[in-house]
Amino acid sequence: MLPLLAYQVVSQYYRLQGNPITLGLLASNTLIHLRPNFLHHIIPSIDEVWFNAHLILKHKDLKRFLLSPFYHVGDPHLVYNMISLLWKGTQLETSMGSIEFASMVGALLVMSQGITLLLIKSLLIFFNYGRPYYYEYSVGFSGVLFALKVVLGSETESYTYIHGLRVPSSHAAWLELILIQMVSPGVSFLGHLGGILAGLLFLRLKGTNSGSDPLTLLIRSVGRILSRPLGFFSRLNPFRQRRIFGGGTVGSRPVTSIGTWRCRACTFDNSGLLSTCEMCGTDRQDGVLHSNQLSSQLDFTREEMRRRRLERFG
């Protein structure tokens, strides 16, 4: 199963380069599951982080509340969730941006866990239904994934296939909730339901608030604060390489900017610092005219062609 996950990640490598939050979530879930030696004494064991409503409410155990989504009971559990995260995360992070996506994932994690806890407690208080939900143990990223599926489905009016059934994307999460429970009765039904409700609540709150949410503003502020010292140390790096870009666009329109030259072969305007054309590789001294010279030559050519047409047709 783990080689299958590795293959999926490698096949999406170029897309993941522009989606650091999705890549970070994949790496953190996988490292926590594998528990390498250098992290063995840092990462809590799964027995310490099981989501259990009774223990969370009795001991106010936030560790179980916040960390249980990052643990999985086996390789198939991890691979299934991470492949689902890979597909949903790359699409949402690409369309939303990394900061907005990180804010949304953090909000959905807390909301899905909180709604699941509220559902379990409500069953106990109002229906006296304590078992199995109040004392059951569960882990996994599924709740957040169901919430992401709701958000992703709301952005499109197309159809999708769930185990061979064609349904609207906005209803796919509900069908998947039922089918997964039928195929695997031992999974956390309320955990998945809490994720769906968290996604719906997030969309409702987002629809009533036109500005950025507080978590997004916090992440942006932290990013701006960290960018200043990182940028300072980056400028001090003696091995930092400077990049040189061509100055202009492809086309026949003359450019009057100072310090550029136009390639005769492809008409691309290059920086004056370059000795060869950045677009086609033509040598500057062998096949180049400055833009004002090329413009004069083009004007002369047009006038000559106009004169010849008049002579030919009278």
What is the residue whose two structure tokens read 């956390």? 188
Torsion of CA 84, 96, 161, 193, to 10 degrees: 60
* Of 68, 138, 142, 188, catalytic: 142
Beta strand pairing call for 269-271 and 165-168: unpaired
Residue 64 token pair: 């179980």
Q: In whole angstroms, give the CA distance from residue 212 to residue 220.
A: 10
| 38 half-sphere exposure, CB direction, 13 A CA radius | 1
Report the C-alpha gap between 270 and 248 in whole angstroms.
6
The Cα-based distances of 110 to 48, 158, 199, 202 in angstroms read 19, 29, 11, 11
Residue tagged active-site, from 103, 112, 192, 291? 192
What is the rounded CA–CA span in Å between residue 86 and residue 109?
17
Give phi and psi for 90, each to the nearest 5.
Answer: -65, -35
| 142 tagged catalytic | yes
Count the residues in the chain.
Answer: 314
C-beta atoms surrounding 116 within 10 Å: 26
Active site residue 163: no
* Residue that has been written with the tokens 């806890």 in this structure: 117
Helix, strand, coil fractions of the chain, as percent rounded to 5 = 65, 5, 30
Query: Catalytic positions, please?
Result: 142, 192
